[in-house]
Amino acid sequence: MHLQESGEMYLETILILSKKSSEVRAIDVSNYMGYSKPSVSRAIGILKSGGYVHVEYNGHITLTESGAAIANKIYERHRVLTEYLVKLGVDREIASEDACKIEHDISDESFEAIKKECASK
């Protein structure tokens, strides 16, 4: 199953929330992303059927190995791209918003070049 941008955003959100709390629930994802609970529940169901998340009997959501791999990749891209844009003089809030748009479409080759450039400075 190939994930679309929205699926990647959900996985990234679950990763971010799991760094803040060991218990992530659909309502937490809903509040963080500003989406309705039914929309989040549907998305979580799709991610679950795709093998990207596990939902425990008490509603706690955890990333599977494949879900964590995607979430970490997207989260790294977001952080690196945000810092890159900030170094170019872009306001941090705008840089973060733009990084969120770019992180899903940028090629691995271009991202690695930007990452290398950031590391060398």
Question: How many other C-beta atoms are found inside a 10 Å radius of the C-beta of residue 71?
Answer: 23
Task: Write out the chain's pLDDT in tens, 121 residues.
Answer: 567 888 999 999 999 999 998 899 999 999 999 999 999 999 999 999 999 999 999 999 999 999 999 999 999 999 999 999 999 999 999 999 999 999 989 999 999 999 988 887 6
Residue 69 CA from chain centroid, whole number: 10
Q: Which of 114, 52, 46, 121 is CA-nearest to residue 78?
A: 114
Contact 29, 13 (CB under 8 A): yes
CATH of 5-69, one of 3.90.1150.10, 1.10.10.10, 3.10.450.50, 2.30.110.10: 1.10.10.10
Tell me the CATH number of domain 74-120, given options 3.30.70.100, 3.40.50.10540, 1.10.510.10, 1.10.60.10.
1.10.60.10
Query: What whole-number distance in Å separates Cα of residue 25 and Cα of residue 18?
Result: 10
- Domain locations along the chain: 5-69, 74-120
Domains 5-69 and 74-120 share a fold: no
Phi, psi of 79 (to 5 degrees): -65, -45
Looking at the whole model, is its pTM more than 0.75? yes
